[in-house]
Amino acid sequence: MKSGKVVFIFILVCFLILPACQIIEDPVDDGQSPAAGASVTADPLDQTKLWENWQRSPHANTYDIHKGPNTYCSQCHSPRNWDPQAVIDPPPNCVSCKFQFEDEPRIAAGNPLVPREQWTDIRCDICHEVNEGLADPQLVWWDQAGGKYESVADANAQCEKCHTDTETILHRRDLGDATHLDFQCTDCHDAHSAAASCSDAGCHADLSVENHGDKSDTAVNGADHTAVSCAACHDFSGLEVGLLDDEGQWVTWRTTELMERINTKPYQSHAIGLEVNCERCHFTGNPWNLDLLEGQEDPIN
């Protein structure tokens, strides 16, 4: 009778304690990604926060039927799905993708579409070695072709594994020659959420439009520029500046040409300088009906 009570108490203790020891489940349950995300420490609780940050990042949701979720493009968009034998086919089906104006995807024999349920995104195990659900803090890069990890020099070298230019795709982030040249990507971007902020990074502690205006030569009217991104004013790369209608934000835009198709999309400039040329937006005949600056001539009617 006494032994029966002992067994009952042991089972009860296990029932109460074990749930508290469970680790947050990884959405990709394949034993590769850490249960609580990429790590900078060996503490699973810290990894839980990093995992949550990653889930909010663009790296956690790279599948887009209109952007070629095929095995060739997955080399960067979902490295574990990359088939190193994939090749670019001749036109019209160079890679498998779906155009907005067509009902069905175009399938290229050399690089078929990867099923959505098999797509793995850019997980923790691409940039960190993962053992028993925990990610090692050391940066590495998973070489799918070689089937092993390779070392990287720093965070910039890590990001440039994908953020680089090819003959057809421009993904390199140009810092220009004005400032930030000695920065690491992670000096401005959170390593896991990929979010960046000129003020939150700790470099520009107070960029409120009121204080920012008081310190500038233009005495910028803060209320009128709350929807203007830093890059829209401080871009040194010569990108176009325009209004992003859906969000009501002023951003930089880039025009590219691929296979004789011209495409203009919002693009985050990384070539930043201190000087500002207000006439990039406030010019005579501007399409947004913005006021001219003091001293500018009115358009001839």
Query: What pLDDT, in 10s, does the model give residues 144-185?
Result: 999 999 999 999 899 989 988 776 666 777 777 767 777 888
Contact in structure between 56 and 79 (CB atoms under 8 Å): no
Looking from the CA of 161 toward its CB, the CA atoms found within 13 Å total: 25
CA 89/CA 238 separation, integer angstroms? 35
Same-domain pairing of 71 and 133: yes
Structural domain includes residue 178: no
Structural domain includes residue 12: no
Domain that holds residue 218: 205-280
At 246-276, the pLDDT tens digits run 778 889 998 877 667 788 888 887 888 888 8
Name the amino acid, one letter, at 43: D
Same-domain pairing of 155 and 209: no
Where is average pLDDT lowest: 69-78, 200-209, 270-279? 200-209
Structural domain includes residue 28: no
The Cα angle at residue 136 between residues 135 and 142, in degrees rounded to 5: 80
Closest to 27 measured CA to CA, from 127, 142, 124: 124
Measured CA to CA in angstroms, residue 151 lies from 80, 155, 209, 286 at distances of: 17, 11, 42, 50
Closest to 190 measured CA to CA, from 34, 25, 48, 58: 58
Structural domain includes residue 247: yes
How many separate domains does the chain show?
2
Same-domain pairing of 114 and 212: no
Structural domain includes residue 52: yes
Same-domain pairing of 138 and 232: no
Structural domain includes residue 270: yes
The Cα angle at residue 173 between residues 277 and 78, in degrees rounded to 5: 145
Structural domain includes residue 166: no
Same-domain pairing of 226 and 136: no
Same-domain pairing of 151 and 59: yes
Enter the tokens of residue 276: 């500002």
> Is 0.75 topped by the overall pTM?
no
